Structure 1
Amino acid sequence: MKRILKKGIEHKKARWGWFFVLPSLAFFAVFSFYPIVNALYTSLFRKRLLSLRPPTFIGLENYEYLLKSPDFWNSIKATLIFTIGTFIPILVFSLLLASFIMSRKRFQKFFQMAFYSPAVLSSVVAAAIWLLILDPRGLANTGANFLLGTKGIDYKWLASANMVRFSTILVYFWKYIGYFTIIYITGLASIPQSLHEAAMIDGANGWKDFWHITIPLLKPTTVLVSIMSMLQCLKTFSTQYLFTQSGAPLEPINVITLNIYNTAIRDHNIGRASAMSIILFIIMLFFTWLQFKASRSGGEVDYM
């Protein structure tokens, strides 16, 4: 009787669980799953964006074209350079900033607000602010000339290939470093203080405590930050778009998302743009799977 009653209660809980999850599932199906399936379907056709002619089924020809296209491989290169150049510094410095803020006994809230404030800006506004800073007469050249003891030199932040890559990385680093710092602060606050006190009693110094206790216990937070920051970098668009519209060279920062936009909106080739979207989706899935797999190797808390 008790087993039947328990089973009935569990069934009722499960039913209510599905009831509460259903709106999220419906939202995901309409705004995420359907666009992915539709993009996959569209990528198999030769379809012009504004043409009244029906699309022509061409199978995998769009994918074959992209794999042989130097322009698409340049987009892969630009995306990887931007992702690696942004993802690694954000991961490292957000952890260091979080540790610094947590070690302060005063002004913790001030530091959190100061570092997080750029994250509330949209990517378009952030890029527009940095366009003013990186202007030849802007603060970037003035500050660089002052620090390096030079006078009147234009460092071509938006003109040379390497500098425009660095500029886009700088904008994203400035915008998102505070956001991921707050996530790390939450992770650091969840570590029991008794573990640090026990380590100090056993003779562990600050570095050993950080390396053998803080880092292993922050592993779930690190996985979250690494995946979120990597995906954010892979789907970057606004900064590169505004920079190129302002006269910056296209090739060094022609990331996949910008190439998708130009192919679909400028060239009206929605089929090929959809194929690029699917390839980007596969790349994002692969790197997410790779990070999950790399995070499975557990580390023990050992400070001796």
Structure 2
Amino acid sequence: MGSKKSYGIEKKQARWGFAFVVPSLLFFSVFSFYPIINAFYTSFFNKKALSKAAPDFLGLGNYARLFNPATAGNELSFLNSLKSTLVFTVGTFIPLLIISLLLAVFISNLSKNGTKRFLQIAYYCPAILSSVVAAAIWMIIFDPRGLGNQWMNNLLNTPGVDHKWLVDPIMEQVSTMVIYFWKYIGYFVILFITGLASIPPTIYEAATIDGANKWNSFWRITLPLLKPTVVLVSVMAMLQCLKTFSTQYMLYSNGAPRAPINVITFNIYVTGIQQQYLGRASAMSVVLFILMLILTLFQFKTTNSDSVEY
């Protein structure tokens, strides 16, 4: 009797739990799964926004147009957007991952709690700003009379030189990387600090007794035990870089050339919203989705993150 009563209570609780979860699942499905499915469907049609005409079925025509080798020389083509996205992702993702880890280790090893809290807040403050505000701040810095040129001229001993942060193609790409790095470095530092705090200090004490120095402790203890956090941060940072849009849009809106910073998301916006080619923009979205999925699976497969036991 007791087991049946317990089973009945558990079943009743499961029903109520399911009832409370269903609205969230429906909300998530409507606003997440439906747009993905609709994008796949729309990518097979020549659909234009604000057009009452029935869209023509193209099959894989939109995808063939995106990867047409004849458009490779066009600076605003999808192939150029793919290249710009990969350049931005590699140039931002690697410094974000490495420097955020080093900063987290440095902050965690500080002895004064007040200094720790101050540095954590200082690094995290840019993360709470919107991307538009962050881009606006740095556009002032990258102005020919701004601090960007002053810092570079002091560093390179080239007084009075304009480094054309928002004009030169390479410097424009570097500018977007610097803005993104400054905005998100604090967020990933906090994640690494949280992961470091979960490592028992007794492990380091035992390593010190055995004669290990800080360098050996970092490579033999910190990195292996921090592996799940490294995987989490690397996946999040990579996806964040692939989805970048606001920074490039702000720079372009203020007169910067579009071609060097024409990442996939920006090209989707121009194609789908400004030019109203929804089918072509949907095909770009599908390609970006598949690219993000492949890179995420690749990271999980290469890192082979298993559960860590202390």
Which of 75, 79, 83 aligns to 1:77? It is 83
Answering whether residue 47 of structure 2 is matched by residue 47 of structure 1, we say: yes
How many residue pairs match? The answer is 302
Matching residue of 2:37 = 37
* C-alpha distance in 2 between matches for 1:3 and 1:267: 65
Matching residue of 1:253 = 261
The verdict on how the C-alpha distance between 1:150 and 1:183 changes in structure 2, with shifts beyond 3 A counting, is: same
Matching residue of 1:294 = 302
Output one character per residue of 1:158-191: Cα deviation in whole Å (capped at 9) or x when no partner. Answer: 1111111111000000000000000111111111
The verdict on how the C-alpha distance between 1:57 and 1:226 changes in structure 2, with shifts beyond 3 A counting, is: same
Amino acid in the other structure paired with 2:97: L
The TM-score normalised by the length of structure 1 is 0.94
Amino acid in the other structure paired with 2:184: Y
Bigger shift: residues 244-253 or 122-131:
244-253
The verdict on how the C-alpha distance between 1:185 and 1:259 changes in structure 2, with shifts beyond 3 A counting, is: same
8 Å contact kept, 1:213–1:301:
no
8 Å contact kept, 2:228–2:307:
no
* C-alpha distance in 2 between matches for 1:205 and 1:13: 53
Matching residue of 2:107 = 101
8 Å contact kept, 1:216–1:301:
no
Taking the TM superposition and a 5 Å limit, the aligned residue runs for 1:226-241 are 226-241=234-249
8 Å contact kept, 1:101–1:108:
yes
Matching residue of 2:167 = 159
Which of 190, 198, 204 aligns to 2:212? It is 204
Matching residue of 2:56 = 56
SS of the residue corresponding to residue 53 of structure 1 reads: coil
8 Å contact kept, 1:216–1:299:
no
* C-alpha distance in 1 between matches for 2:46 and 2:190: 46
Q: What's the % identity of the aligned pairs?
A: 60
Which of 110, 117, 140 aligns to 2:118? It is 110
Matching residue of 2:278 = 270
SS of the residue corresponding to residue 115 of structure 1 reads: helix
The TM-score normalised by the length of structure 2 is 0.92
Structure 1 stretches of 4+ with a deviation exceeding 6 A read 299-302
8 Å contact kept, 2:176–2:248:
yes
* C-alpha distance in 1 between matches for 2:183 and 2:25: 31
8 Å contact kept, 1:240–1:253:
yes
* C-alpha distance in 2 between matches for 1:243 and 1:174: 16
Structure 1: stretches of 5+ with no match in the other structure: none
Q: CA-atom RMSD, angstroms? A: 1.9
Which of 227, 231, 240 aligns to 1:223? It is 231
Structure 2: stretches of 5+ with no match in the other structure: none
